[in-house]
Amino acid sequence: MSKKYNVAVVGATGAVGAEMLSTLEERNFPFNDIRPLASERSEGLTVKVKGNSYKVQKLTEQSFDGIDFALFSAGAGRSLEFAPHAVKAGAIVIDNSSAFRMDKDVPLVVPEVNPEALKKHKGIIANPNCSTIQMVVALKPLHDYARIKRIVVSTYQSVSGSGHKAVTELAEQTNKLLTLQEITPKVYSQQIAFNCIPHIDVFLQNGYTKEEMKMENETKKIMDDDSIKVTATTVRVPVFYSHSESVNLEFAKEISPDKARELLSAFSGVVVQDKPVEDLYPMAINAAGRDEVFVGRIRQDFSVKHGLNMWIVSDNIRKGAALNAVQIAEKMI
Amino acid sequence: MSKKYNVAVVGATGAVGAEMLSTLEERNFPFNDIRPLASERSEGLTVKVKGNSYKVQKLTEQSFDGIDFALFSAGAGRSLEFAPHAVKAGAIVIDNSSAFRMDKDVPLVVPEVNPEALKKHKGIIANPNCSTIQMVVALKPLHDYARIKRIVVSTYQSVSGSGHKAVTELAEQTNKLLTLQEITPKVYSQQIAFNCIPHIDVFLQNGYTKEEMKMENETKKIMDDDSIKVTATTVRVPVFYSHSESVNLEFAKEISPDKARELLSAFSGVVVQDKPVEDLYPMAINAAGRDEVFVGRIRQDFSVKHGLNMWIVSDNIRKGAALNAVQIAEKMI
């Protein structure tokens, strides 16, 4: 019999945590015990995995005895506090927060892109930001072929990236506005229904948001290439699931749209949807609930030498978070 | 007494036509008679301007007798067919369709940007595409100062650009989805509620949409500078009014974000909203119903020499269409 693993999920009742549990089930991850952990608020709830019920336990420093993999998705604060305890207890931590992503001792991994980085881990492996993951999956085969010099990206990010509460807020706000009721934004500082908010995560001194700088810094780290220039504008749109990205690329050498389609079609985890005459291009509503990164609208950028434009869409909760974390665990076993 | 003008509005019952009539009223345009023209379907309806009712008349070749200004917003086909008759009758045609925009004999005008082009008109003046207008207003003072070499733009366009029907479709589709009813897209080929559609106007052979090529070609013509490189990705989002644009710029010489803010603040028709720490940046819901072009998120692009990123928002029906047309008429008198 092959080995089975004990898996803890920290933040098990959150949007990403719940998706981690169902991803473990769907992918037949060889688990023995599942230990759902959350804050006191969720203590005593039960979650179901493969027909078995598991009681949600309160996250403490002692939560990780006997755990092989601890998947964290409960915010950077909790990761910083509790991941070291999980490591001390002998678990491998796969952390979905931003806490350790830029730490030199922590690999930042997208399994299709840089699996080799896993070898250098010291107990903690970081899951990149959702908007970065889907972009680098689509860029990796193109970078290997023609070396990316510069990326200009504008995002169209769904509310599920902000958790269950934001999904509810979009639905409720939309409903209230359509029935002429007053609304009070809570999760976001602005109305999200029927609006675009050019503001994700907090603003930094340089005028960029943290989300925008994540796309720059994490891309360089995952691609292991500091020479790639990145500039990002990240925007929240009234969509429930899946992030869309308008990505403009400048390469060191010639790469035609046909060549890009060929490389992307052959790359693991990517689906090319690019037949404009049949109205076929990636869209958020079609990517929701799917595992792949969808790429389309691939066309030559005539404004620069060796340029391409493309449109990249993926489910931010799946490939952008839960699936990528479980894939990392799979690579480790 | 100063001169008063007879004004025909072709497509008077459409989203832009109706806005043209209210803009004429709001701006106290010195009109004598108003002649609302439309297809047979709308014949006999009445529209109100400054308290007076005007019967909508069927558009014919004889509709323009005695007319000084004919504002067209009824699609390129109607403009191609009827604008020459209006010119023959002695009217100045201001056309909101794409019919004549790239015609060498037709000035393509945004009054804040290239009023001097009006002098060369031969009866027809073209109103640029909505997404182009708001962009060039924001770019003009920056181009004059530091010369723009390249523009990479991604748009977040509201449904009102597709007329009343699209506004209704977004509202109805949204409501149906929230109450778990089935939907059938009509105005768009795809579901627009809670989705992003990277497809505006028809696809061309080169993989771009007509809307994307308009942004490139019209920008060069209005700025009277073919050396400006432009690449665009245009996207429909579930927003009722106002287009948002993520614009990345590369200049020939140094221009700081502070300098850009100073130049934009001094430019007619622009409002700078750029205090991230106070959550102040342009948003579609705030620009709706306003005349100005709102610019914010101005920041240095560290990925290129002399680069800037910015976020430009404006009401596509007002400055993007009706207001710009009326402003052209004002310049002509």
CA distance B49 to A107: 66
> What tokens were used for B8?
């025909």
**pLDDT tens per residue across span B220-233:** 999 999 999 999 99
Nearest to B154 among A151, A246, A302 (CB): A246
For residue A2, what pLDDT is reported? 79
Is residue B107 located within the same domain as residue B182? no
The model's pTM: 0.96
Interface test with A, best of B201, B233, B280, B300 (most A CBs within 10 A): B233
Q: Residue A95: pLDDT above 90?
A: yes
Quote the number of domains for chain B: 2
Here the ipTM equals 0.95
User: Are B154 and B298 in a shared domain?
Assistant: yes
Residue pLDDT, tens place only, A137-174 = 999 999 999 999 999 999 999 999 999 999 999 999 99
Do residues A188 and A99 both lie within one domain?
no
- The answer to whether the CB atoms of B196 and A283 lie below 8 A apart is yes
Which residues of chain A form beta strands (DSSP E)?
A: 5-10, 31-38, 46-49, 52-55, 57-58, 69-72, 92-95, 124-126, 148-156, 229-233, 243-251, 270-272, 293-301, 307-314
The Cβ-side half-sphere exposure at B317, using a 13 Å CA radius, reads 26
| Residues belonging to chain B | 333
Residue corresponding to tokens 């990705």: B233
B185 and chain A: CB distance < 8 Å anywhere?
Answer: no
Tens of pLDDT, residues B167-203: 999 999 999 999 999 999 999 999 999 999 999 999 9
Same domain for B106 and B12: yes
pLDDT tens per residue across span B91-150: 999 999 999 999 999 999 999 999 999 999 999 999 999 999 999 999 999 999 999 999
Q: Looking at the structure, tell me whether residues B45 and B185 fall in a common domain.
A: no
pLDDT of residue B1 exceeding 70? no
Helix residue spans in B147-281 (DSSP H): 164-178, 210-223, 257-265
Q: Would an 8 Å CB–CB cutoff place B259 in contact with chain A?
A: no
How much is the average pLDDT of B260-270? 98
Does residue A1 surpass a pLDDT of 80? no
Please state, for a pLDDT cut of 70, what percent of chain B lies above it. Answer: 100
The CATH number covering residue B109 comes to 3.40.50.720
* A234-285 per-position pLDDT tens digit: 999 999 999 999 999 999 999 999 999 999 999 999 999 999 989 999 999 9
pLDDT, tens digit (0-9, with 9 covering 90-100), for B48-66: 999 999 999 999 999 999 9
Which member of A121, A143, A243, A306 is catalytic? A243
A190 touches chain B (CB under 8 A): yes
- Do A69 and A205 share a structural domain? no
pLDDT 10s digits, A130-140: 999 999 999 99
The per-residue pLDDT for range B21-37, each reduced to its tens digit, is 999 999 999 999 999 99
Q: Which two tokens stand for residue B243?
A: 């287009």
Domain of B38? 5-127+321-332
The answer on A158 and A116 residing in a single domain is no
Residues A181, A121 share a domain: no
Nearest to B199 among A197, A240, A281 (CB): A281
Q: What is the mean pLDDT of chain A?
A: 97
Give B277→chain A minimum CA distance, Å.
Answer: 7
Asked if A84 and A20 sit in the same domain, the reply is yes
Taking only the tens place, the pLDDT of each residue in A29-71 is 999 999 999 999 999 899 999 999 999 999 999 999 999 999 9
Q: What is the pLDDT of residue B2?
A: 79
Same domain, A144 and A210: yes
Q: Are A277 and A188 within one domain?
A: yes
* Percentage of chain A exceeding pLDDT 70: 100
CATH number at residue A247: 3.30.360.10
Given this model, what pLDDT does residue B90 score? 97
What chain B residue is nearest to A226 in terms of C-alpha separation? B303
- Looking at the structure, tell me whether residues A161 and A272 fall in a common domain: yes
Gap from B273 CA to chain A (nearest CA, Å): 12
Which residue on chain B is closest to A191 by alpha carbon? Answer: B285
